[in-house]
Structure 1
Amino acid sequence: MTPPRLAVVGNPENRRVTMLLDAAARLGIPGPRVVSWREVLTARGARFDPDEVVRLDSPGENPDVDTALRGPGAPTRIADGTRWYTALLAAVDTLRGGRRLTDPGDLAVLFDKRRCHAELAARNVPVPASPTSGAGAPVPPDWPAVRELAAAAGLRRFFLKPAHGSAAAGVVAVETASGGRVQARTSAEVAADGVHNSLRVRRLTGEAQVGALVDALAGERLHLEAWLPKPSWQGRTADLRIVVIAGRATHAVLRTSAHPMTNLHLGGRRGDLDTARAAFDSAGYGWDTVLAVAEAAAAAFPRTLCVGVDLLPAANWRGVAVGEVNAFGDLLPGLTGLPGRADGLDTYAAQLVAVSEGWSDRAAA
């Protein structure tokens, strides 16, 4: 294994960067040169040597970087997602030299849920039905427009997601019923200074409450998609995060929750992956097919080393759909790889091994 010259653009204090450094140390290869997002944004760029392999890591969890990308305000606010998105892509465009492990064009699609959904659908990757993806798809300006779009698509249960959001910030799970009744669950809260993301998923009932929240979020270019029934595991809903590295599914987590959103920071918990694997096999769908769907989603982004694919199992375990594909979906502390795919390696070590084995050369070919 020939160690490459590595560099990472990230927030140096963040555990994403420190876990990458730790993985390099365990493998006995030189640690990457760390370039901070703050430095990139302040100096309006950074340069890398031609033989450096450059990893882009999440700019999140740093208030100064968040302010530089979105403008001033509380880090918990859900606002200015389009500004954040545009600023991030502009910052990536100021990087010069080196070979990227995350393709800028892929990044532009991965951080736009509407575009990403359309790209997957065009490749026949199974995704939830959506009236807001694809060329010329409408951008609902308010709650009445959302209700009209959902009704026209025959959706009585659906998710609303800010197009450029992450970590379930601003996601609203909506249920409608006959007679115009509506309720929703979300971690977003409307305050005097706007909408904020909390760590508490709560229920909203009635047109007034749900409509007020959706109206407050409507400036975030909302993506609307069907809320597919999920299977139950020990009385909790379940889905999967599959990490795909160099085109191969290497790590998997069963995520369970009492809420529609299974994100671990919102109270989700890791479940027993062996139980899910057995359920798929017993249902006749097959665990290998599950991994193949994740790999098909990642194949839409062939110039990006690693993505995290969120899979939505059918309630009867006889199928999956792709909920999202995450550019920075590899933060899974303490998780080692799937047998025969990344034995004994965490997500960071597995990526370093792939790079050392020449992935960046093959991707550039």
Structure 2
Amino acid sequence: MADPGWLLIGPRGSRRILGLQQALHERGLPAAEELHYERLLEAPELAADAIARRPRALVKIESTGEAPQLHTALIERGWRALGQPGPRPRALGHGELAYQHYWYAGFRALLQALPREANYLNPPDDILRMSDKHDCQQWLQAQGVAIPPLLGDVDGYAQLRELGSGQVFIKARYGSSGAGVLAYRRDRRGREVLYGSAELADHERDDRDQPRIYNSLRPRRYTDPRQIAQAVDAVAAQGAYAERWIAKPRAPDGAGHYDIRAIALDGRARHRLARISRTPLTNLHLGNRRGALADWLDTQTAGLLEDATERAAAAFPRSRMIGFDLILRDGRSWILEANAFGDLLLSLPWQGHSTYQDQAALSARALAEPAHA
């Protein structure tokens, strides 16, 4: 059977697209056709045309990340899709965290304009669910997947204090790559500390006359209650929720704690690595270390990892590639997040293959048929 090929939908120049194109080239397969979001914003019908020309092609929808102008365009589109509530979104500084709820509305409008019937690697509906972290966690919980207990929406610092919990994670509902994730602690004496990659800019003010907030590559630690309140309020203004803080296990070398990123391909656990940090945030782009789980986990714990990953993947039976962040500890597992774009693990092979080589190696039959009817 002839290889039906690929159609990649994503930003122009995306590292993700380049990674899969390189993997296809290494296997001697034809290059994937590319359809860039920048063109789709102007002419949504291009997607239906491309899919109609190659109805058997495997269609992979990529992240909108790494494209600031696209991010800005989606914010504008989302603001309009929501009926233009409030003033028109202003121009954002590099790395500024703002209007994520507008971004999501714009991304949703873009994906909902795609054809419903296509041979998607991950279908648009699943991608949208995984891009709304709170909705996704509620969905996983409803499917019987173990997650950290959810504590509800957070509309600001005052509501956070009303939760009555001394250790919580506040998460931006529509964030990515750790953006807008805050770890909050309050001891019995009322002393507070907040960790996150969010950097407050006191000299810059937003539409609400509050300090602007930026996503920093250097983890921050705040102990001033005023700054803690400002950071929580800035994240909550874009949509946020709280969940119980589950303690991460200590790395075998004692140099920090870790969680795990695992990739499920066609429902089976494949790539997995430890993300090790001395702070509560473990994202690798924040300068944290990676660990080789094959050297750490005994057979029983490795089986628990695979079982937890595959149970979570089963909650999205139409999606063929999902990244999961999870904690394993004391014979238990908790899924922290499902990520439809979780395969950007550069220079991190598993059993000799990158995530993109795994996808390029899918058989012609698997490419030609959806994973599930």
Q: Indicate whether the TM-score tops 0.5.
A: yes
TM-score relative to the length of structure 1: 0.89
1:182 Cα deviation from its structure 2 partner? 0.9
User: Is 2:75 aligned against 1:70?
Assistant: yes
Structure 1 residue corresponding to 2:348, chosen from 329, 332, 335: 335
- Mapped to 2, the partners of 1:18 and 1:204 lie a distance apart of 38
TM-score relative to the length of structure 2: 0.87
Matched residue count: 343
Given residue 343 of structure 2, which amino acid in structure 1 is its aligned partner?
Answer: D
Q: How does 1:111-122 map to 2 (within 5 A)?
A: 111-122=131-142
Of all paired residues, the percent bearing the same amino acid is: 33
1:184 Cα deviation from its structure 2 partner? 0.8
What is the alpha-carbon root mean square deviation over aligned residues? 1.8
Change (3 A) 1:244 1:2: farther
Structure 1 residue corresponding to 2:317, chosen from 302, 306, 312: 302
Q: Retained in 1: the 8 A contact 2:271–2:355? A: yes
Given residue 299 of structure 1, which amino acid in structure 2 is its aligned partner?
Answer: A
Structure 2 segments unaligned to the other structure (5+ residues): 77-90, 206-211
Structure 1 segments unaligned to the other structure (5+ residues): 133-138, 338-342
Q: Retained in 2: the 8 A contact 1:255–1:264? A: yes
Cross-structure match for 2:83: none
1:286 Cα deviation from its structure 2 partner? 2.5
- Mapped to 2, the partners of 1:355 and 1:37 lie a distance apart of 28
- Mapped to 1, the partners of 2:341 and 2:93 lie a distance apart of 22
Q: How does 1:119-138 map to 2 (within 5 A)?
A: 119-132=139-152
Q: Retained in 1: the 8 A contact 2:119–2:370? A: no
Q: Please state whether the residue corresponding to 1:297 is helix, strand or coil.
A: helix
Cross-structure match for 1:287: 302
Deviations 1:149-175 (A, max 9, x none): 2x1xxx321110110000111111001
Structure 1 residue corresponding to 2:169, chosen from 155, 159, 163: 159
- Mapped to 2, the partners of 1:359 and 1:294 lie a distance apart of 23
Structure 2 residue corresponding to 1:85, chosen from 98, 104, 111: 104
Deviations 1:13-38 (A, max 9, x none): 12111110010011121111011111
Q: Retained in 2: the 8 A contact 1:23–1:348? A: yes
Given residue 100 of structure 1, which amino acid in structure 2 is its aligned partner?
Answer: Y
Cross-structure match for 2:80: none
Q: Please state whether the residue corresponding to 2:139 is helix, strand or coil.
A: helix
Q: Retained in 1: the 8 A contact 2:58–2:367? A: no
Change (3 A) 1:293 1:227: same
- In the TM superposition, structure 1's runs of 4+ consecutive aligned residues that sit over 6 Å from their partners are none
1:360 Cα deviation from its structure 2 partner? 5.9
Q: Retained in 1: the 8 A contact 2:259–2:328? A: yes
Structure 1 residue corresponding to 2:366, chosen from 347, 352, 358: 358
- Mapped to 1, the partners of 2:157 and 2:6 lie a distance apart of 47
- Mapped to 1, the partners of 2:200 and 2:257 lie a distance apart of 26
Q: How does 1:1-365 map to 2 (within 5 A)?
A: 2-46=2-46, 47=48, 48-49=51-52, 50-71=55-76, 72-96=91-115, 98-132=118-152, 139-149=153-163, 151=164, 155-191=165-201, 192-193=204-205, 194-233=212-251, 234=253, 235-278=255-298, 281=299, 285-314=300-329, 316=330, 318-337=331-350, 343-354=351-362, 356-358=364-366, 361-365=369-373
Q: Retained in 2: the 8 A contact 1:256–1:270? A: yes
- Mapped to 1, the partners of 2:4 and 2:275 lie a distance apart of 34
